[in-house]
Structures are given as C-alpha cells and as structure tokens.
Amino acid sequence: MKIKHLFIFISFLFLSVSSKSQDKILLRDAKDTIQCKIIEIGTTEIKYKESNNVEGPQISLEKSSILKIVYANGRVEIFDEAINATVKNPDKIYPRNTKAYIKAKIIEVGMDDIKYKDINNLNGPQFSMEKDDIEKIVYANGKVEKFEQSMAAHISIQEMHKNNIQFALLSARANHLHFSFERGVKQGQSWTVHATIIGVGMRDNLSKVSKGFMVGGSYKFCFVPDVVYRGIRSRHIMQGSFFRPSIYFGGFSEKTLISQNISVKKNTTTGAIMAELGRQWIMSNRASFEYYFGFGYGFDNYKFDRVDYATPFDGIKFYYLYQRSGNTTSNTFLALSTGVKFGYLFHTPKEKKMALNK
C-alpha cells in the first residue's frame, strides 16, 4: 500500500514539474494562453508544439498576434508593435520591367544602388540592387521614389553605335562644306577622317571665287572615359572631353575679279599638324554634338606681294580648317582652329546583326 502511495506521489510531482517547464504564449487580441514548447522564433513568426502533443506537428503563429511569451525558465519576451508594424507594412521595391515587387526593409539608398533586407528575414543577410534596375520604391510611410534609367543601364558596348558621320554646321557660312567620319575603337578612343569641299556655300566677297579640296586624319583620346558599374556597363565610348592630334592637307585656288575683264588667280597648297581639345556628347545612342579648339604648326606656299610693306594683318589667312597667323616673311606659321559639329551615329550591317544576336 505504501508503495502505491509513493508511486502516485512521484507521478504527481513529475506532472507538476512538467507543467511548470512549459512555455506560455499570450495572444494580443485574446485572453487565451497557449501551453507549448517553443521550437523556433523567426523574424515574422514563431514555431511551437503543443505541450500535450510534443511528438505531434509543428505549428506556426504570426508574431504580430503575440503579446508576450513566458518561457519555462521564467524569462518573459514582449513583442514590440513597431517591429510588427514594419512586417505588416514593409517597403516595396518594384524592379523594372515586371509587375511583381519585393517586400523589404530599406537599409540604404546609395549613389548607384540600394541596400535592403528581406522583410521575412530581418536578421538575415543584406542585399543590394542597382538603381537602374529599379523603377520605384514605395516606402512604408507612403512616400514614392522613382528612378530614372540612365543610358548605361540599357545599352552595352556591343549595342553602341560606333560610326559617326559629322557635319560642321557653320562651314557653309564660310564658303566650304566640312564632313568627318569618326569610328569608335574602344572605350575613350576613336579615329576620324576629314573631307572639306571648298567653294560651296556663302561667299562674303562676291568678287572672289575659291575652289579646292582638303583632307585630314585624327586620333581622339578621351581624358576620363565615363565608365560605371565596374566596367560591365558604361557610357558611350565616344563621349567625353578629349585630346585629338590631327593632320590636315589640301589646296585651293582663288580667282579674284579686279575689273570686268581682268582677274587674278592664286593657287595655295597648305597643311598643318594640330593639337585639338574639346568635348563630345552622345544623345540617345543616335546623335552627337561636339565643340573643339586647337593650335599647331602650319605651312603653305603662299607668296605675299611686296613683303617689305606688308603688315601682320596681311598674313592672316583663313584656310577653312584653320586660321593662318600673321607671319608674312615665312611659309611656316602658327595655326589656330575652332569649330562645332553635329553628327549621326549608326551600326554597320555586321554590327547590327551582332547586336541583335547578343
């Protein structure tokens, strides 16, 4: 009989200790208390097993519905409503070209990317996304931030038009037409060939008729190519401030009408080696705008009449691609140049095919 009473006493003691070792979940919107064994506490939910069915299935419960947990060891954990509010109302990242969005907690908005954490794992790793891949962010407070997509984000070097036909718009105002063809070689470098037809366009002096042709060649170096995104994507390879060594050569004739039946004709051959500085902009991978100025060393075969009486102003001659300085005693001179060009960019058929198959 005593053994029976001892067994009952030990069983009661065990059940008493077992009940005290249970975790308790107190719900926020109810007076119920869940007796359980806590298995895992995540960012947005907790997982537990019922105390009367420890071998049974694992149950999940949203943390937003929990007021506090009283653990078996007596520790109490109260759940902050602010954290729950963040989970309930997260920041939303809308990637470009998709209707889906990412629920997140924005950590940082940088120059080129944003950093965030998954709303379901706020204690987990930090992720980053390039701003050019994002259409907009809708923050938890309702603020909307939209992101403009730069050209760098949607065009690769292979897709860039590297052929540029340029025209000096003001050349026709000075009795010539100047064309250039530029070919991009690699990031920040290109070569150019020039052709100038003299005698086409407006003439300031109607008594003088000029005819001729000039050619040239250049190689352009951009000072700082605008590379971004660690070289994977970049601004146009032909855009930026540049230094351009150039060589020009050509000849023309000038027929000046002295009287109704008398005219004087002079033939001039000239050339120059120039150092040109400028900047070029590429717009929508299709159009270009460039301005430049330069100086260099020139030569010609021009013969000045009565050199002894000539002034430096007599030596100033416009040679279409550059200006001759006022040296009347020598056929070598300081050459100066300046200009503005507009251009049209295009793919060759082979480049177009490669871009489409990219």
Query: What is residue 14's predicted lDDT score, i.e. its pLDDT?
Result: 44
Give me the CATH number covering residue 306: 2.40.160
Whole-angstrom Cα distance, residue 126 to residue 344?
A: 44
| Per-residue pLDDT tens digits for 232-260 | 445 688 888 999 999 999 999 988 887 77
Query: What is residue 164's predicted lDDT score, i.e. its pLDDT?
Result: 96
- Whose structure tokens read 């009287």? 259
> Mind spelling out the 3-state secondary structure of the chain?
CHHHHHHHHHHHHHHHHHHHCCEEEEECCCCCEEEEEEEEECCCEEEEEECCCCCCCCEEEEHHHEEEEECCCCCEEECCHHHHHHHHCCEEEEECCCCCCEEEEEEEECCCEEEEEECCCCCCCEEEEEHHHEEEEECCCCCEEECCCCHHHHCCCCCCCCEEEEEECCHHHHCEEEEEEEEEEECCEEEEEEEEEECCCCCCCCCEEEEEEEEEEEEEEECCCCEEHHHCEECCCCCEEEEEEEEEEEEEEEEEECCCCCEEEEEEEEEEEEEEEEEEEEECCCEEEEEEEEEEEEEECCCCCCHHHCCHHHHCEECCCCEECCCCCCCEEEEEEEEEEEEEEECCHHHHHHHHCC
* Bridge partners of residue 106, in order along the sequence: 116
Looking at the structure, do residues 178 and 209 belong to the same domain, yes or no? yes
The answer to whether residue 138 is domain-embedded is yes
The answer to whether residue 155 is domain-embedded is no
The number of folded domains in the chain is: 3
pLDDT beneath 50: ranges in the chain: 9-10, 12-19, 151-153, 225-233
What does each C-alpha distance from 339 to 25, 168, 170, 223 come to in angstroms?
80, 7, 8, 19
Looking at the structure, do residues 335 and 242 belong to the same domain, yes or no? yes
Query: What is residue 17's predicted lDDT score, i.e. its pLDDT?
Result: 44
Looking at the structure, do residues 108 and 208 belong to the same domain, yes or no? no
The answer to whether residue 177 is domain-embedded is yes
For residues 61 and 49, is the Cβ–Cβ distance under 8 A? no
Looking at the structure, do residues 61 and 193 belong to the same domain, yes or no? no
Q: Which two tokens stand for residue 1?
A: 């009989």
**Residue 216: how many other CB atoms lie within 10 Å:** 21
Query: What is residue 311's predicted lDDT score, i.e. its pLDDT?
Result: 64
Q: 326-353 burial, b for 16+ CB within 10 Å, e for fewer? A: eebeeeebebbbebebebebebeeebee
The answer to whether residue 346 is domain-embedded is yes
Contacts for 11 with CB less than 8 Å, ≥ 6 apart: none
Query: What is residue 244's predicted lDDT score, i.e. its pLDDT?
Result: 97
Looking at the structure, do residues 142 and 172 belong to the same domain, yes or no? no
Looking at the structure, do residues 352 and 235 belong to the same domain, yes or no? yes
Looking at the structure, do residues 169 and 121 belong to the same domain, yes or no? no
Looking at the structure, do residues 192 and 52 belong to the same domain, yes or no? no
Looking at the structure, do residues 223 and 331 belong to the same domain, yes or no? yes
The answer to whether residue 158 is domain-embedded is no
Query: What is residue 227's predicted lDDT score, i.e. its pLDDT?
Result: 45
What does each C-alpha distance from 77 to 63, 71, 127, 167 come to in angstroms?
11, 8, 29, 75
Report field, pTM of the whole predicted structure over 0.95 = no
Query: What is residue 342's predicted lDDT score, i.e. its pLDDT?
Result: 96
Q: Domain boundary at 55, 80, 105, which?
A: 80
Q: Domain boundary at 105, 120, 149, which?
A: 149
The answer to whether residue 44 is domain-embedded is yes
Q: Domain boundary at 23, 48, 80, which?
A: 80
Query: What is residue 293's predicted lDDT score, i.e. its pLDDT?
Result: 96
Give me the CATH number covering residue 99: 2.30.30
Whole-angstrom Cα distance, residue 149 to residue 155?
A: 11
Domain that holds residue 30: 2-80
The answer to whether residue 154 is domain-embedded is no
140: left (phi over 0), alpha (psi -120 to 50) or beta: alpha
Contacts for 353 with CB less than 8 Å, ≥ 6 apart: none
Looking at the structure, do residues 240 and 196 belong to the same domain, yes or no? yes
**Length of the chain counted residue by residue:** 358
The answer to whether residue 244 is domain-embedded is yes
Looking at the structure, do residues 214 and 271 belong to the same domain, yes or no? yes
Looking at the structure, do residues 201 and 313 belong to the same domain, yes or no? yes
